[in-house]
Amino acid sequence: MHIHILGICGTFMGGIALLARAAGHQVTGCDANVYPPMSTQLGEQGIDLVAGYGAGQLTLNPDLFVVGNSISRGNQLLEAILDRNLPYVSGPQWLAENILGGRWVLGVAGTHGKTTTTSMLAWILEEAGLNPSFLVGGVPQGFGVSARLTDSPFFVIEADEYDTAFCDKRSKFVHYRPRTAILNNLEFDHADIFADLAAIETQFHHLVRTLPGNGLIIANAGEASLTRVLARGSWTPVEWFNGAEGWHAGESDDSGGFEVTLSGKVQGQVECFDLPGAHNRANAIAALAAARHAGVPVAVGLKALASFGGIKRRLEVRGTVRGVTVIDDFAHHPTAIRVTLEGLRQRVGRARILAVLEPRSNTMKLGAMKAQLPESLAEADSTYCYADNLGWDAKIVLAPLGDRARVFDDLDQLVEAVASAANAGDQVLIMSNGGFGGVHDKLLVALAG
């Protein structure tokens, strides 16, 4: 079957492309914005990309169009598909109907940490010899791809609460029907589609309603929102983590390692751990608990965590020039920005951190979380904010930071300012959920010059 994917360079739809190709389908796709790592992955797999959404793509004559959730009514290609009554389906529905059926699905849901926790879980299963299939919203360093299809019964998936497609406004994760589900955390996000936190809690409740009685929920005890979700009805056993009972991660030692306990009983030690911050230790024990449900002994999981190499665009060092280290991270929600900065501070000690931020997500552009930004940036010594096309005044919002924050609407001027201010030993942390105009390479070139 020939499948043509609209919005193929998104992390999820790019993963669908890789899975469809591995399943033996001919795959092509189109997108308006193409940037690594997804464009690189697709090119390496020989998947042809078309720039833009012109109606002329109908001449490719695919058997099926798979429509990403970034595609809205008014899109030229989508309108042509609808006018001609051509077959189409959403990405999550295609995945559920063609790949996930009959498999043991392990889904990772939550506002933050989904990509990291999904990657850890897939890595633990891999190290245990279970050869899992997976679909992750990033590129785990140990695998080098965001999606993989194997003959294993286990499929690990990042279970996103964002809506499915223009034609299906349920959250993506209701399609996946996991047997093992991690509920990592739950805060207000996606202000473009959810009115408030209660609306997102309802979607999580819908996910919980699909879980079988012989499944398992691994839930964050530190999140009152998740307690409310489960109080609305749950038919599946629950194991808690990050609370007074259940799974618990101790404080990290000099190597980053930490002790793991379950109901107060020591399960073992992660001898070393490369990801800084309490939030990543919490992600790790959630993955450990999910892997145990799939049959992986805790000792095997602990050993696997010690060899986990992280994910691209999660505190990924892009280069060091003149002693200045440039780091890339996907953080864009204030909570993610805060814990990312806290983790980096733990790693680098008293070294200066220069935060470079692009508030690019729909939630941030709408200003729903703007009041939380100054506090979330507290660990940064200086902040450089790119405020192009925002619906609110970043200078006013960041005013509580005083002269520690500067705002730019010209990317080249921002790069010049950061390069001029950076000194040997500084850590430049770039945070955006998009390509950020290639700022990482631009800054490395400017530092070299």
Q: Which tokens sit at 289?
A: 């608990």
Confidence at residue 127, expressed as pLDDT on a 0 to 100 scale:
95
Confidence at residue 162, expressed as pLDDT on a 0 to 100 scale:
85
> What is 101-306's CATH number, 3.40.1190.10, 3.40.50.10240, 1.20.20.10, 3.40.50.1370?
3.40.1190.10
- Which of 27, 36, 37 is closest to 6 using CA atoms? 27
pLDDT digits (tens, 9 = 90+) for 296-337: 999 999 999 988 876 667 778 899 999 999 999 887 788 888
Give the fold, CATH level 3, of 2-92.
Answer: Rossmann fold (3.40.50)
Give the domain ranges of the chain: 2-92, 101-306, 316-448
Report the alpha-carbon distance of residue 262 to residue 195 in Å, rounded.
37
pLDDT above 90: percentage of residues in the chain: 66
Confidence at residue 257, expressed as pLDDT on a 0 to 100 scale:
86
Report the alpha-carbon distance of residue 53 to residue 389 in Å, rounded.
23
Ordered strands of the 382-386 beta sheet: 316-321, 324-329, 427-431, 353-357, 382-386, 405-408
SS (HEC) of the chain: CEEEEECCCCHHHHHHHHHHHHCCCEEEEEECCCCCCHHHHHHHCCCEEEECCCHHHHHHCCCEEEECCCCCCCCHHHHHHHHCCCCEEEHHHHHHHHHHCCCEEEEEECCCCHHHHHHHHHHHHHHCCCCCEEECCCCECCCCCCEECCCCCEEEEECCCCEEECCEEEEHHHHCCCCEEEECCCCCCCCCCCCCHHHHHHHHHHHHHCCCCCCEEEEECCCHHHHHHHHCCCCCCEEEECCCCCEEECCCCCCCCEEEEECCEEEEEECCCCCCCHHHHHHHHHHHHHHHHCCCCHHHHHHHHHCCCCECCCCEEEEEECCEEEEEECCCCHHHHHHHHHHHHHHHCCCCEEEEECCCCHHHHHCCCHHHHHHHCCCCCEEEEECCCCCCCHHHHCHHHHHHEEEECCHHHHHHHHHHHCCCCCEEEEECCCCHHHHHHHHHHHHHC
Confidence at residue 35, expressed as pLDDT on a 0 to 100 scale:
64
Q: Which residues of the chain carry a pLDDT beneath 70?
A: 34-37, 190-191, 310-312, 362-363, 365
Give the fold, CATH level 3, of 316-448.
Answer: Protein-Tyrosine Phosphatase; Chain A (3.90.190)
pTM of the model: 0.78
Confidence at residue 331, expressed as pLDDT on a 0 to 100 scale:
77
Residue 282 sits at φ, ψ, to 5 deg, of: -65, -40
Report the alpha-carbon distance of residue 77 to residue 5 in Å, rounded.
11
Confidence at residue 181, expressed as pLDDT on a 0 to 100 scale:
98
Specify whether the CB–CB gap between 355 and 341 falls below 8 A: yes
The reply to whether 2-92 and 316-448 are identical in fold is no
pLDDT digits (tens, 9 = 90+) for 133-182: 999 988 888 888 889 999 999 999 999 888 899 999 998 999 999 999 99
Report the alpha-carbon distance of residue 441 to residue 449 in Å, rounded.
12
pLDDT digits (tens, 9 = 90+) for 217-250: 999 999 999 999 999 999 999 999 988 889 999 8
C-alpha distances (whole Å) from 30 to each of 4, 47, 56, 59, 65 are 8, 10, 12, 13, 11
C-alpha distances (whole Å) from 254 to each of 70, 204, 257, 315, 353 are 43, 37, 7, 19, 21
Report the alpha-carbon distance of residue 55 to residue 76 in Å, rounded.
6
Confidence at residue 427, expressed as pLDDT on a 0 to 100 scale:
95
